[in-house]
Structure 1
Amino acid sequence: MIIASIDLGSNSLSILIAKIDNHRIIPIFEKIYLIRLAQGIKENSLLHEDAKKRCLNVFKKIETLITKYNPDHILAVGTAALRNAIDGEIFSKSILKNFNIPIKIISGQNEANLTYLATINEFKKYNKNICMIDIGGASTEIVVGNSNSIFSKISLDIGTVNLTEEFINNDPPTKNELDQMEIKIKKILTKKIHFPFNKENIHLGIGVAGTLTTLKSIDLNIQKYDSKIIHGSKLNIKNLTKIKKKLCKMKIKDRIKLNGIDEKRADIIPTGSIILKLLMKELNLKSIYINDRGLRWGLIYNHIKTIN
């Protein structure tokens, strides 16, 4: 059985086409396209015309891939950008009409569940209480649990795209812009992060998605992204702090020159580093493992679970 899994996120559109063999996921094709669908949503709660065009152009490529690999099932979801936009449902219907790909807009809680499912399957060897952090373009999901159950789920309306658009107007960002952003994040974390247990019971942090993989790539000074190196690696807060300070002082054109940064992430990666550092401090995490197999993998793991 071949399955195509599509994650239409706020900053990226990712696809995984995989063969299922004895409950194992064997990737055939996998790619992440940076489309920034959340561009400008804060202004009027509508999807930006440029963002929609970028998205539809990538779906033309995905349509070709679907024709080539002819999957038995297509699993496709939309997250925060489509959730938050007034015209999110209308846009998802236009994708169905043009490409015959049905996009299901899922809640932040469901997004967290599916990403966590991928995480526990990919990190089975760590039989501990874990805290999963998924920093997206328009939201951040936090899940605490173990391989058997979820203890707590939190979805926060903070992401790399929406916070950058709200606070950063200069290149490089000013100290005041960064301070104001940190104040907002801290307020949200103080208000929203409450667990029915002691934080000391969190034994392991695992971070998902492009912000985390990019920061680790910078940490390792990797010129070309390599999932085999990044997936399962670890980033400590000391190195993260150095990277954050460096990124926040640099202009976008200089960040692009750094190994490990895609130029389409160069303007938002300082924001991602700030969110991650504040979360790690709040959760008492001295280091965090990197998972580059997030929601798109969770969709397939969930499908396998369902048919079983």
Structure 2
Amino acid sequence: MSRVAAIDCGTNSIRLLVADLDPQTGALTDLDRRMEIVRLGQGVDRTGRLAPEALERTFAACRRYADVIAEFGVPPERTRFVATSASRDAENRDEFVRGVLDILGVEPEVITGGQEADFSFTGATKELAEGTFAPPYLVVDIGGGSTEFVLGAERVEAARSVDIGCVRLMERHFTVDGVLTETPARAQVEAVRADVDAALDEVARTVPLERARTLVGLAGTVTTLGGIALDLDAYDSSRIHHTRIPLPGVRELTDRLLTATHDERAAIPVMHPGRVDVINAGALVLLTIMERIGAEEVVVSEHDILDGIAFHAASESPS
């Protein structure tokens, strides 16, 4: 067995996976999987910089993760820290890199959108061939700052990353003078849709979206929608994984979240407190994508970029 630790630091959340990888079968066995909302990308779309308070929230989570990694005895050479959209965009990303290195002893890799797509595809599709899901797969990873579109069957055939994450669009269109709108007005909703449609125009130039036979949705927006669709009393990743939500169901959920108040969204049992303000924008992104590409359903995956990072950490670390 090869024991590895993988950390995925995005615009909204930072997640840790400690796992054992069987080199013979390629099976990944979770030992510890956790997530914290740190909102690293707070204000990056407006200022171009990582805010001091956002950095401190992230560093505090890293200290807690360092304790977990040490507890499981994972050495630095088998630990991989990947940072995505927010840290790619920030002018002061060197401050972020130095802080993480000091805490974890591992330098964060500020990866490109293409690398992010590769990790996401690996994590999301490695087990799909064993099921009833038909390739080619279109993997859509809706993050806080960006969304990745990856098409492929056994490997990535085409990919594109665009800046239509749920935090970015919430801050851009669902706030007025920095104050979050309780329930977005029609014009605000249409502004988000316009941004997503423009981004999809870009994606379609390099990713043949019409070839997809299975749409696979990743990350917190999609998995939370899966939990709501199942009407769960508490978040249960084992039940959410590979749930299928038909297009009418996504449309109904999106309408519900767009018209709900902050308190009504917060009262949903599977809702993480850090997603309350961004879940409606994220749902709208997913709905617009599905309508645009003609997807009849989305397959929700709990396995994503984090699993892909772990696979790469195991394959690239010394034996």
Question: Shorter chain as normaliser: what TM range?
Answer: over 0.9
Name the counterpart of 2:5. 4
Among candidates 66, 87, 92, match of residue 92 of structure 2: 87
Q: Is the partner of 1:194 in helix, strand or coil?
A: helix
Give the structure 1 partner of residue 188 of structure 2.
177
The 3 A distance-change label for structure 1 pair 196 and 64 is: closer
Look up the match of 1:34.
37
Distance 1:198 1:51, change over 3 A: closer
User: Structure 1 residues 36, 191: CA separation in 2 closer, same or farther (over 3 Å shift)?
Assistant: same
Question: Unpaired runs of 5+ in structure 2?
Answer: 176-180
Residue 116 of structure 1 aligns with an amino acid whose one-letter code is F
Distance 2:218 2:289 in 1: 13
Contact 1:117–1:302 at 8 Å: present in 2 too?
Answer: no
* SS of equivalent to 1:273: helix
The 5 A counterparts of 1:49-88 are 49-72=52-75, 73-88=78-93
Matched, 1:238 2:248: yes
Tell me the CA shift for residue 251 of structure 1.
1.1
Structure 2 contact 134–214 (Cα < 8 Å) conserved: no
Q: TM-score, normalised by structure 1?
A: 0.95
Q: Quick check: 2:38–2:57 contact (8 Å CA) kept in 1?
A: yes
- Alpha-carbon distance, 1:227 to partner: 1.2
> 1:12: how far off?
0.7
Counterparts in 2 of 1:166 and 1:13: CA distance versus 1, 3 Å: same
Whether the 8 Å contact between 2:145 and 2:166 is mirrored in structure 1 is yes
Q: Which amino acid is the alignment partner of residue 160 of structure 2?
A: I
Q: 1:145 aligns with which of 142, 152, 156?
A: 152
Q: Matches of 1:26 and 1:196 in 2, distance apart? A: 32
Deviations 1:246-301 (A, max 9, x none): 11011111110112211210110010111001111222211011111111110122
> 1:118 is matched with which residue?
123
Q: CA deviation at 1:90?
A: 2.4
Distance 2:150 2:274 in 1: 28
Question: 2:178 — aligned with what?
Answer: none
Larger RCO: 1 or 2 (CA < 8 Å, sep 6+) = 2
Contact 1:144 1:151 in 2 (8 A): yes
The CA distance in 2 between the partners of 1:231 and 1:157, in whole Å, is 26
User: How far apart, in 2, do the equivalents of 1:196 and 1:291 lie?
Assistant: 21
Q: Report the secondary structure of 1:124's partner residue.
A: helix
TM-score, structure 2 as length reference:
0.91
Alpha-carbon distance in 2 for matches of 1:301, 1:30: 15
Structure 1 window deviating more from structure 2 (16-25 vs 264-273): it is 16-25
Question: How many correspondences in the alignment?
Answer: 306
Distance in 1 of aligned mates of 2:231 and 2:224: 10
Identical counterparts, % of pairs: 23
